Amino acid sequence: MHAGCHQRIEELRAAEWNTLGGADNPFTRYEFLAALEHARCVGRGSGWEPRYLTLHDARGLAAAAAAFVKTHSFGEFVFDFAWARGYERLGRRYYPKLTLAAPFTPATGPRLLVRPDLDRDEHSGRLLADLERYAASHGLSGVHALFLDEAARAACARRGWLLRRDCQFHWTNRGYTSFEDYLATFTADKRKKARRERRRVAEAGVRFETRMGGELDDALIDRVYALHRDTFLRHGHEPYLTRAFFGEAARTMPESLMVKLALHGKTVVAAAVFFVSGAQALYGRYWGAAADYHSLHFEACYHQGIEFCIERRIERFEPGTQGEHKVSRGFEPAITWSAHYIADLEFRAAISEYLEREGAAVDAYALEVQGHVPYRERRGLGRLA
């Protein structure tokens, strides 16, 4: 077994990478990472410089982790700006750091990829040890593993990394046969409000079409990208992903990229961009609109996604970060996890104490929000574990 470090995904073979399990999640697929590089969303000058740490055996690629040397914390969605300021106040450098994540993607997924025939715990531990060594040998302040699946969270815990929790809002498919079947589980008042929202959009003359990546031509990609870019510009900055990224993703991941088009007549007036992980999950990512229709955002980004999951029998829907307004539409609090290796012992102790306090507050918040879900029967708190 020997280790490697690669700065371009093309130094590795797509088939070997995806065999590690990365293909089970759209954001760890070779094609997703390649599109980010080709479109220059990551790489030199972006603040996201790829470092693909690998383990090889006689059969080839045995395990891998997609990490990035970061010179800032933007596009991560696990906020550590206060940690960086603490370092700076004492004259120490927080940046550069090493981040193990799917860039620009606040979605839980695999971070330590291991070939199925190998011992996952053993090789996950080796990858984490290599990440620690890389950080130490290159003067990095630490390693930050974001939005971890259970296997990665357990591996980080075994290495003694600091665990951090946050709260998102996810939707779970409980075998609904239709959107109306789903709404039947709501209280009368919440059901009435949801129907009114959908009716307002329909009465405005807006209808929806679903297009998978392979069904998007250049003109439609141009339109979808322009709408999504305008949303970012109105918040004061350029989008993380470029037009070139969406073009390549539509071509190389046609079954993973999905767009809901909102049309008024023949004009696309809004679009919501999603990624699909087979029957496991739908991920809401971006949206944009050219006109202000009542309730259009809720319909395009939430109701249409839920309906898609019901039709395709997809298990869950993760619409992104933040947004308590999602709760009244059937999304429930779900704990997400990150893990942090802090090289400086003094700061590691201080951050550990902070995370204990923060974690208790996150748990309390999630439990409080769970009391406001719209269902007639209160659900269990399994998503809060």
Average pLDDT, the chain: 95
Evaluate whether 2-167+334-370 and 174-314 have a shared fold: yes
**Which CATH number applies to 174-314: 3.30.390.50, 3.30.930.10, 3.40.630.30, 3.40.50.300?**
3.40.630.30
Residue 379 has a pLDDT of 56
Please list, residue by residue across 356-380, b when 16 or more beta carbons sit within 10 angstroms of its beta carbon and e when fewer do.
eeeeeebbeebeebbeebbeeeeee
What pLDDT shows up at residue 322? Answer: 77
pLDDT of residue 50: 98
Q: Is the pLDDT of residue 169 over 80?
A: yes
The CATH class given to the 2-167+334-370 domain equals alpha beta
The more confidently predicted of residues 4 and 24 is: 4
Contact 333, 357 (CB under 8 A): no
What's the confidence (pLDDT) of residue 22?
Answer: 67
C-beta separation of 373 from 367 below 8 A: no
How does pLDDT run across 8-27, given as a tens digit for each residue?
999 999 999 999 986 779 99
The per-residue pLDDT for 268 is: 97
Identify whether the C-beta of residue 130 lies closer than 8 Å to the C-beta of residue 3: yes
pLDDT tens readout for residues 244-260: 999 999 999 999 999 99
Phi-psi region of 92 (alpha: psi -120 to 50; beta: other; left: phi over 0): beta
pLDDT band at 235 (very low <50, low <70, confident <90, very high): confident
What is the per-residue pLDDT for 382?
A: 45
Mean pLDDT confidence for 186-191: 95
Rounded distance between C-alpha atoms, residue 37 and residue 52, angstroms:
12
Q: Which of 166, 104, 205 lies closest to 362 in space, CA to CA? A: 166
Average pLDDT over residues 213-223: 97
Looking at residues 215-228, what average pLDDT do you find? 97
- Token readout for 65 is 């982790």
How far apart CA 189 and CA 378 sit, in angstroms, is 15
Looking at residue 321, its pLDDT comes to: 83
pLDDT digits (tens, 9 = 90+) for 93-135: 999 999 999 999 999 999 999 999 999 999 999 999 999 999 9
Q: Give pTM, 2 decimals.
A: 0.94
- Scanning the structure block, which residue is given the tokens 């209280």? 187
Domain boundaries, the chain: 2-167+334-370, 174-314
Helices (H) and strands (E) in the chain, counts: 12, 13
Indicate if the pLDDT at residue 282 is higher than 70. Answer: yes
Q: What is the pLDDT of residue 222?
A: 98
